Amino acid sequence: MPDKVVLDSSIIAAIFFKDAQIEMARKAIETSSLITVDLAAAETANVAWKKITFFDESRDTIIKALKRSIDFIYGACEVLQHKELLDDAFKIAIEDNITIYDAFFVAASDREKVTLLTTDRKLYGKIKGSRDVKLI
């Protein structure tokens, strides 16, 4: 695995919310320096909300997982501010026909010149030929 990687929210959610890709995600990040975008906290909180609201998972369990994920984001990762990536992200969103949210992580990967790790198959499918991205 590369020395540095950008993690999108799907990787972080996979690790902390017991996604099917949990072991692969953990293994993928264990020897790398980690970078993410500040939006990861909001997107991870949204995953937690969905787990409780739509999937009727234990509120206490999910809140504990959310707290651990936020601690991970701000403790283990270099966190880039989305406002610093906005111009690049907007161009990427239009060029690659992806959401602006996904484009922030792609822009971070481009700016840092490192691989973007994702579990998002749709995102991967749209950018795999033109961007440095790895599907976990």
Mind listing the pLDDT tens digit of every residue in the chain (136 residues)?
458 999 999 999 998 987 666 777 777 778 789 999 999 999 999 999 999 999 999 999 999 999 999 999 999 999 999 999 999 999 999 999 999 999 999 999 999 999 999 999 999 999 999 999 999 8
- What is the pTM for the complete model shown? 0.92
Q: Give the pLDDT of residue 2.
A: 59
CA nearest neighbour of 105 among 20, 124, 47: 124
Structural domain harbouring 67: 4-135
Say how many domains are in the chain.
1
The per-residue pLDDT for 23 is 75
Rounded distance, CA 70 to CA 75, Å?
A: 8
Q: What is the pLDDT of residue 42?
A: 98
Q: What is the CATH number of the domain that holds 127?
A: 3.40.50.1010
pLDDT at 113: 97
Rounded Cα distance between 52 and 50, Å, is 5
User: Which pLDDT belongs to residue 21?
Assistant: 64
Query: Which tokens hold the place of 69?
Result: 């994920």
Q: How far is CA 49 from the centre of its chain?
A: 17
- What is the pLDDT at residue 27? 78
